[in-house]
Amino acid sequence: MSQASVSKRPMAYVRLGTSGLKVSRIILGCMSYGSPEWQPWVLGEEDGVRQIKEAYDLGIQTFDTANVYSNGLSEVVLGKAIKKYNFPREEIVVMTKVFGAVSHKINEHYYGVNVDEIGYVNQHGLSRKHIIESVKASLGRLGLEYIDVLQYYAITHNLTPFISMQNHYNLLYREEEREMIPTLKYFGVGSIPWSPLARGNLTRPLGEQTKRAGYIGAGVEDIINRVDKLAREKNVSMAQLSLAWLLHKDVVSAPIVGSTSVEKMKDIVGALDVELTDEEMKYLEEPYQPVPIFGH
């Protein structure tokens, strides 16, 4: 068995909300690893394992996946990377989720479908039965004895408080600041935003011929242009600047970022070195206009 690298790049580690659990300042999103049969942009096992190893070597020790990603294969790939490179279990943090139905076929996903009608009764939702069975299945796929963070449930009878909220938050979507962010601060819950780069919209100039789906609004183009301009002035990438904006928000413990190349992974981690002044933060935020709720 090969050993994980011990010469890792310095990485900041912070507490998740007010809990005692520490996570890396950047969390690796593992939705991109599993099977391209599930989604064409997903990397297969070999490339996925390589990406996870690269992330660990850069100091990332927190990994976010879900039972439904590639219908379980994302968890399998993460588990194989942990085992192959002997990541210290006492150090790493593994996050997964419970709710959706895990299809028996890799190339299927059921969004907006009544899965009870196609043979998945009690295999989705938040019933006690499904939660227990789902956790058992996730542990089996991961090859682990426990999960560090399970994202699935609400406070019941004041017994187990939330410690984290995986919410949609980035420069192009700031509706969370109206109610969610103040609530998280009040309860001491750490935000671990998904899509911090707005599906790639915050990583490249407007003139590039790339698909920009899901983000509309009066201020979108102006924000992207300002990110581009300021990134050039500071000699950093647009991705680094956009992540740095999030990292300067005190409620954000760590953004969840996916990557399908070593070069992009290194670029992402470089965001930790980007400093922004109050004036620069205001400059990036100023054009924002309210948009419809998206991602809930």
Catalytic residues: 69
| Residues 196 and 215: beta-carbon distance below 8 Å | no
How far apart are the C-alpha atoms of 248 and 51, rounded to whole Å?
A: 26
How far apart are the C-alpha atoms of 176 and 217, rounded to whole Å?
A: 16
Question: Positive or negative, the Cα torsion across 177, 180, 185, 186?
Answer: positive
3-class SS string, 201-247? CCCCCCCCCCCCCCCCCCCHHHHHHHHHHHHHHHCCCHHHHHHHHHH
Strands 62-64 and 190-191: unpaired
How far apart are the C-alpha atoms of 53 and 3, rounded to whole Å?
A: 11
How far apart are the C-alpha atoms of 55 and 57, rounded to whole Å?
A: 5
Nearest residue to 72 via CA among 140, 169, 165? 140
Largest CA distance in the chain: 56
| Residues 226 and 173: beta-carbon distance below 8 Å | no
Q: Output Rg (C-alpha) for the chain, integer angstroms.
A: 19
